[in-house]
Structure 1
Amino acid sequence: MNRLNQIAEEPFRVFFPLGILASAVGVLLWPAYFAEWTTIYPLEAHARWMVIGFGGCFVAGFLGTAGPRLLGSDPWCRFEIILHVVMALVVMTSLAFNRIAMADLMTGFWLLGILKSLLFRVFVGRKDMPPPGLPLAVLGLTGAMLSGFALSMEGYLSYSMPWRTFWRLLYFQGFLWLPILGVAPYLLPRFFGRKSLHAFDDSLNMPVGWMRPFIESTIAGVLFLASFALEAWVGGRTGMALRCVVVAVHLTRSVPGLVSWGKVNGLGLALRWVLPSALGGWILAMIFPPLRIGSLHLMFIGSLGLLMLAVATRVTLGHNSRHDRLSSPLKWFHGVWVLILFTAATRLTSDFVPKVRVTHFIYAALLWVVILAFWAWKLRREARLPVYKEGEIKSQCPRRRRAALRRQTS
């Protein structure tokens, strides 16, 4: 029971590994298909394994862990953690049997449960005002929940093309980007050693200065939703152009250090690729509409995938009392972001160069699995490393030790 209580207090301990598993399964569907181990074309299942399985588990793990702390409320109870994990497994089981409509329906119920856990703590028993951007996380969960219910009925209801496009955009992009736009201003400045503009002293009532970032976040969320409507009913280029502007303006204004040349460790430098990758994916999709899916993988892999692994690294080390490692250079994470961008480029070229399409699908899938395995191994190893103290000589290389000694004595 003690272990279950710990997981309920820190749901990332079960949801992050589930998300990694879902992601590995999702990409390996392509090699399995091209090897003719299955005859089912995996496009729809792959998208859901990655966005709902991988992304959904990381969102649930982060909000379930950080949400109660941000609100000064009680953590999830044992019933809640069991319910949410079981529902996630039901979604993944449906995807494993390629029951797409059932997976969408179960996703709707899964996210409804997580919303209930979050909103209950917002209105009952909280001891602190939520960060100004937290409503965007609620908006993202709500939109994905409604989209899951809507898409599960697609076989019975005749949606027009604009409505179908809108629901899918809300499901596959809104689910992840809206929580990011809401939480990033509070969390990401820490990666750069900066003070968050969304952080305020504990207060049950609205603190001074809270309303302005709340209004700015709300405007960003509304405009982001409007970009989906524009893409669905007006034109893809118009909607994606607005999306680029909203994300670029909101993140550069609200996340100090994100666009800067200042020195940071591996995690901080990785995050500086998030915005260029997202904008690059949407811009390429605008320029080459027939190659839209491949172009958007630059946004999904190079931006969302990289961001989730970076945040998961900080959450995991922080909650395992290894804040000292977060202050270390974390040079190994340079390898992670380089490999992730290379994977995104590999998947991107598969659509632009048809003759390498199949091989690059396979290479990108296998490389992503390698990245996940390397990340998990290094993260586990971090917990066993000596306490990091800036200025101490850690390297066993004589040349580097001599250079470090010279820097200390100069």
Structure 2
Amino acid sequence: MPSASSLASPAAARWHPRELLASPHRLGFSAGALMLAASALWWLRVLPQPAAVEAVPRVVAHALWMSWGFMPLFIAGFLFTAGPRWLKAPPVPARALLPAIGAQLAGWLVFGLALADAGPQSPLMAGMGLAAVAAGWSHLVLRLWRLLRAGAAPERLHARVALAACALGALLLDATVGAVVVQAWTLVLALTRAALWGCLGVVYAAALHRMIPFLGAASPRLDARWPAWLLWTLVAVLGLQALAQPVEWLTGPLPRPVRGVQALGQGVAAVLLLGLAWRWSRLPSLRQRLPAMLLRGFIWLGAALLLSALAQPAAALHAYALGFLGTLLLAMASRVACGQSGRAVVADDLLWLLFRLQQFAVLARVAAALWPVGAPWLLPLAATAWAAVALGWLLRYGRWLGRPRAGLVPVAHSS
């Protein structure tokens, strides 16, 4: 009598929401992809609208959507999938993360309704939604701490760095909730940018550094003399950038001598990182598509620091957020989605097209920041390209996340 199931093509299985609970990355990535598409489409819709007096300024809403809206969800999916292997700890069931991720999605729904209402109570309503997001994120940080304690691996550096960054982000997000309620919009922007550099960026740096040996880009001699030198360099650079945000909010523009020292440090860091990226680009393994995507994200970090040193804050911010964080997000999330779904871990033609479109969006957005008056069409062009990337990733990888792993698709047989 034939068996009840056999191997089949992944296309033979239908998408089902229960598959999202099969692994933390499925749950986190699907929620993150949904938020990524929603935030990109929202920005594309409001961008051409004329400026008006808004209860929650659109630039503030944009900053919150694009920082806390989707990246923490992708981070949760990644850390709770890779973290147990890093730490030799028991796997974390996706159901254990469902309340925290559900709280974040519900919070963003309330936040979006507050933006649509635009009444005098909108800031309070937006703060309530953001408080739910903060509660969900704090819950994830607590679970990450428990995971770290349960691990048996002697090497825990990357997990500890990620946990410290996530805990800092929880504090910054709690402070952001209060700033939204009291309508301290300049403080909201400062706290959000500090979180972009000091929380989200440091988590990305820890994950990137963890993957470097697998890309054939390690430096044995440097590692022998200064263990994890690159990770600590990235943490220091990102941490100083994060610290500058609230300091400038408190003190106003920095005095010229202090700004000069800051610019010199940013320029030196940019040259060092770009030089390192150039050396890595000559390695054969970095000529493959997926490693090349990671390398391009690393290059954008150097470019962001260089633009910051040249006193171009808006261009630097978008080179960092869209270029560094956005490129690494596209590369890492796609890599995990391929491997965990049983597919070849490669950047196929569709992913490569999304990557090129995403790079175009970064270039257009940076150019729009550098020439805001001369080329006003660049900003909507960048927003359109970014929305296309977000929708493309959701439609392609979102389908994979809701289907059984390839090669394990149940197929009914007649007796």
The answer as to whether partners of 2:27 and 2:94 remain within 8 angstroms in 1 is no
Q: How does 1:53-132 map to 2 (within 5 A)?
A: 53-77=69-93, 80-97=96-113, 98=115, 99-124=125-150, 126-132=151-157
Q: Does 1:225 align with 2:239?
A: yes
Count of residue pairs brought into register by the alignment = 364
Relative distance call for 1:154 and 1:373 in structure 2 (3 A) is closer
Question: Structure 1 residue 250: deviation in Å?
Answer: 7.7
Q: What is the letter of the counterpart of residue 338 of structure 1?
A: R
Q: How does 1:195-234 map to 2 (within 5 A)?
A: 213=227, 217-218=231-232, 220-222=234-236, 224-230=238-244, 232=247, 234=254
Question: Structure 1 residue 258: deviation in Å?
Answer: 4.2
Q: Deviations over 1:29-55 (max 9, x none)?
A: 333224549964421111221211121
Partner in structure 1 of residue 58 of structure 2: 42
Q: What is the letter of the counterpart of residue 108 of structure 1?
A: A
Partner in structure 2 of residue 167 of structure 1: 191
Q: How far apart are the structure 1 equivalents of 2:24 and 2:263?
A: 34
Question: Structure 1 residue 156: deviation in Å?
Answer: 7.2
Q: How far apart are the structure 2 equivalents of 1:129 and 1:157?
A: 45
Q: Provide the secondary structure at the position in 2 that maps to 1:153.
A: helix
Relative distance call for 1:92 and 1:273 in structure 2 (3 A) is same
Q: Provide the secondary structure at the position in 1 that maps to 2:152.
A: coil
Question: Structure 1 residue 305: deviation in Å?
Answer: 0.7
Percent identity (aligned): 18
The answer as to whether partners of 2:323 and 2:359 remain within 8 angstroms in 1 is yes
Q: How far apart are the structure 2 equivalents of 1:164 and 1:378?
A: 34
Where does the alignment leave 5 or more consecutive residues of structure 2 unmatched? 1-15, 116-124, 249-253, 408-415
Q: How does 1:5-404 map to 2 (within 5 A)?
A: 7=20, 10-36=23-49, 40=54, 41-77=57-93, 80-97=96-113, 98=115, 99-124=125-150, 126-154=151-179, 167-190=191-214, 192-193=215-216, 213=227, 217-218=231-232, 220-222=234-236, 224-230=238-244, 232=247, 234=254, 238-239=261-262, 242=265, 258-262=280-284, 264-289=287-312, 292-322=313-343, 325-326=344-345, 330-355=348-373, 359-377=377-395, 379=397
Q: Provide the secondary structure at the position in 2 that maps to 1:43.
A: helix
Question: Structure 1 residue 224: deviation in Å?
Answer: 3.4
The answer as to whether partners of 1:49 and 1:95 remain within 8 angstroms in 2 is no
Q: How far apart are the structure 2 equivalents of 1:92 and 1:56?
A: 13
Partner in structure 2 of residue 400 of structure 1: none
Q: Deviations over 1:159-214 (max 9, x none)?
A: 998x8776343222222211122221212443x356798xxxxxxxxxxx999636
Relative distance call for 1:317 and 1:215 in structure 2 (3 A) is same
The answer as to whether partners of 1:181 and 1:217 remain within 8 angstroms in 2 is yes
Relative distance call for 1:110 and 1:332 in structure 2 (3 A) is same
Relative distance call for 1:309 and 1:356 in structure 2 (3 A) is same
Which stretch has the larger CA shift, 105-114 or 222-231?
222-231
RMSD of Structure 2 on Structure 1 (CA): 4.0
Q: What is the letter of the counterpart of residue 177 of structure 1?
A: G
Normalised TM-score (structure 1) = 0.74
The answer as to whether partners of 1:132 and 1:211 remain within 8 angstroms in 2 is no
Relative distance call for 1:165 and 1:14 in structure 2 (3 A) is closer
Q: Provide the secondary structure at the position in 2 that maps to 1:133.
A: helix
Question: Structure 1 residue 286: deviation in Å?
Answer: 3.1
Where does the alignment leave 5 or more consecutive residues of structure 1 unmatched? 198-208, 388-410
The answer as to whether partners of 2:24 and 2:81 remain within 8 angstroms in 1 is yes
Question: Structure 1 residue 281: deviation in Å?
Answer: 2.3
Relative distance call for 1:347 and 1:311 in structure 2 (3 A) is same
Q: How far apart are the structure 1 equivalents of 2:318 and 2:360?
A: 12
Relative distance call for 1:212 and 1:286 in structure 2 (3 A) is closer
Q: How far apart are the structure 1 equivalents of 2:99 and 2:347?
A: 39
